[in-house]
Amino acid sequence: MRLKIKNCSLLCNQGTAPYNEDAAGITPFGVWVLDGATGLNGKNIVSDESDARWYSQWWNNFLHENIYRSDSLKEIMLDGIRSIKEEYKELVEGKDVKKLDLPSSSIAIVKFRDDMIEYFLLGDCSFFYNDGERKIIKDRSICHLDDKVYDEMIRIPNLEKLSFNEIKARVMNTIIDNRMKKNTKDGYWILDFSEEAIENSIHGYIQVEDEMKIMLASDGFTCASDRYGILKEDELIYIAEKMGIEYIFNQVREFEEDDYKAIKMPRFKVMDDSTAVYVELYNKKEK
């Protein structure tokens, strides 16, 4: 493998929820971020902590053990789906599990190959890269559905007098309607237990001529641009290179602390888990 890591950093910080449901990894063979989501019924069926944390940590461990393989990321992820589906089935045996109970996760992976990278995305995690020109790969389907909820929140009368939980309760029907669109052709594709989702992932390859800077991030990190508007999306990877991913994270937290009741910017969590990995690669060409 000719691609080598010259510099890297990883950030995975918990928000206001009791447990961090994000995960991330950096290895010589690839990098990834996961943004777990617990079922909307508020049940933890397979974990005493958080089903979403169980789910994202399962995949984090799986990728640490399998990212080295020569198979495509689609093949690796399909193997993972089949394995976790069997494990989950055993854990919930005899329990009444509905679609809204199921954990899921957004995910972005970049695998390092001989002189190229392979990428795989499901959900609303983002893939930024700079090979002389800054580019972004992201599925915005969930963002559009989320915007409907945010717009509904803004229209709630006397918003500033309500607690965060009261605001969320007022829009829960729309949140549930959106979640029921999970892994459907008219909705959005995300990592859960569906093999069909793997085939509907954003997947491809990019040649690395000399050097490339890449960044993967959860929506709790990219909200700096796509929700809060405090930084420009096409400048995030440049800022990460020059000032570090911690700078972006600090900007997000400062905004959230200033708007702790989520009045200026309605959202699902006061502070979401925030995760990003940044890697500088170079092509170690043979002489």
How would you classify the pairing of strands 104-112 and 30-37?
antiparallel
Query: What pLDDT score was predicted for residue 165?
Result: 83
1 pLDDT tier (thresholds 50, 70, 90): low
Distance CA 89, CA 264 (A): 42
Task: Give pLDDT, residue 43.
Answer: 81
Pairing of strands 104-112, 116-122: antiparallel
Q: What is the SS3 string spanning 209-247? A: CCEEEEEEECHHHHHHHHCCCCCCHHHHHHHHHHHCHHH
Cβ pair 268, 15 in contact under 8 A: no
Instruction: Look up the pTM and report it.
Output: 0.95
Q: How far apart are CA 203 and CA 238, in angstroms?
A: 24
For the stretch 208-243, pLDDT in tens is 999 999 999 999 999 999 999 999 999 999 999 999
Beta strands in the chain (DSSP E): 3-13, 22-27, 30-37, 104-112, 116-122, 126-130, 134-137, 202-207, 211-217, 274-283
Residue with tokens 């999306």, as numbered in its chain: 233
What's the token pair of residue 113?
């190959």
- pLDDT for 287 beyond 60: no
- Rounded to the nearest integer, the mean pLDDT of the chain is 94
| HSE-CB of 55 using CA atoms within 13 angstroms | 27
Under the banding of pLDDT at 50, 70 and 90, the label for residue 160 is confident
Average pLDDT of the residues in 100-121: 96
Residue 60 has pLDDT above 90, yes or no: yes
Q: How large is the average pLDDT for residues 162-189? A: 92
Q: Can you give the pLDDT at residue 168?
A: 86
Question: How far apart are the C-alpha atoms of 7 and 279, rounded to whole Å?
Answer: 6
3-state secondary structure of 172: helix
pLDDT greater than 60 at residue 184: yes
Closest of 96, 99, 118 to residue 109, by C-alpha:
118
Intra-chain end-to-end CA distance of the chain, in Å: 14
The per-residue pLDDT for 286 is 58
Measured distance CA(159)–CA(153) in Å, rounded:
8
Share of the chain above pLDDT 90, in %: 83
Distance CA 213, CA 205 (A): 15
Report yes or no: 280 and 211 within 8 Å, Cβ to Cβ: yes
